[in-house]
Amino acid sequence: MTVILAEERAAVCEFARRMTTDGLVVGTSGNVSARRGELVAVTPTGVDYAGLRPEDVPVVGLDGKIVDGSLKPTSELPMHLTVYREAADPDGKAISAVVHTHSVHATAVSTLVTEVPPIHYMLAAIGPTARVASYATYGTEELAKAMLEALEGRRGCILANHGTTTFGDSLGSAYSRAQQLEWVCQVWLTARAAGTPNLLPAAEIEHVVEKLRGYGQR
C-alpha cells in the first residue's frame, strides 16, 4: 500500500526531534511541516516529539482539510498554510518546508526591538533584515496575517513574544535558517548585555544577501 507523503512525514519527525535536541523548543511547542504538491505533512498537536512516528503525522490539503492520519494537526496550521499559499521566496524558489520555533534568544529579542539589529552578516540568511511581527494569539488567522507581513522579501521572521518562523525549499534549509536566526539573536543579546554593540551598516547586509545567492557547491 502506498503511504501518502512517506518521505515528508519521516522528515517532519526527524526535524521535530532536532528542534527539541537543539533547544529551539520545549515540550510539544513549536512545529514543522513539509509540502509536496498540494499536500502538507505537519506535526500533530500535543504529541511528544521524542516518540513521534511517521504514521502520527497528519497530511492536510492547502485548504486545511485532513487528507490522511488520525491525529489533529498543530494549532499553528493557519501559519504554515499561509506561508505555502501566500508567501514568496525572495529568489523565486519553491517553498517546500516551514519551521516554527519557540527559541529563547529570538523570543527575547522580540520583546526589545521591531527588527533584529545587524550584529552579524549571517542575518542575511533571512534577508536584509529580520522583522518582528506584531503580537497576536497563537493559532489564529491574525497571527498568520501579521507573520505574512513580516515575511515580505524575507525567508523568516520573529513573532513578538512568541518565537520564529522560517521557510525553505527543504526542511534542511528552513531549519538552518531557524538556527541562524536564533544564533544572531543570541550574539546581539550577549553583546548588548556587555555594552553597546557595534552594528554593521545596512549596505553590508545587502551585499552579503547577494553573495549568499551564489554560496556553496553547485
Catalytic entry in 7, 55, 76, 210 = 76
Q: CB under 8 Å, gap of 24 or more: what pairs does 9-13 form?
A: 9/34, 9/41, 9/54, 9/55, 9/57, 9/59, 10/54, 11/41, 11/171, 12/41, 12/42, 12/43, 12/52, 12/54, 12/57, 12/171, 13/49, 13/52, 13/53, 13/54, 13/56, 13/57
CB 146 within 8 A of CB 96: no
Phi, psi of 119 (to 5 degrees): -80, -20
Residues constituting the chain: 218
76 has catalytic annotation: yes
Active-site residue numbers?
A: 76
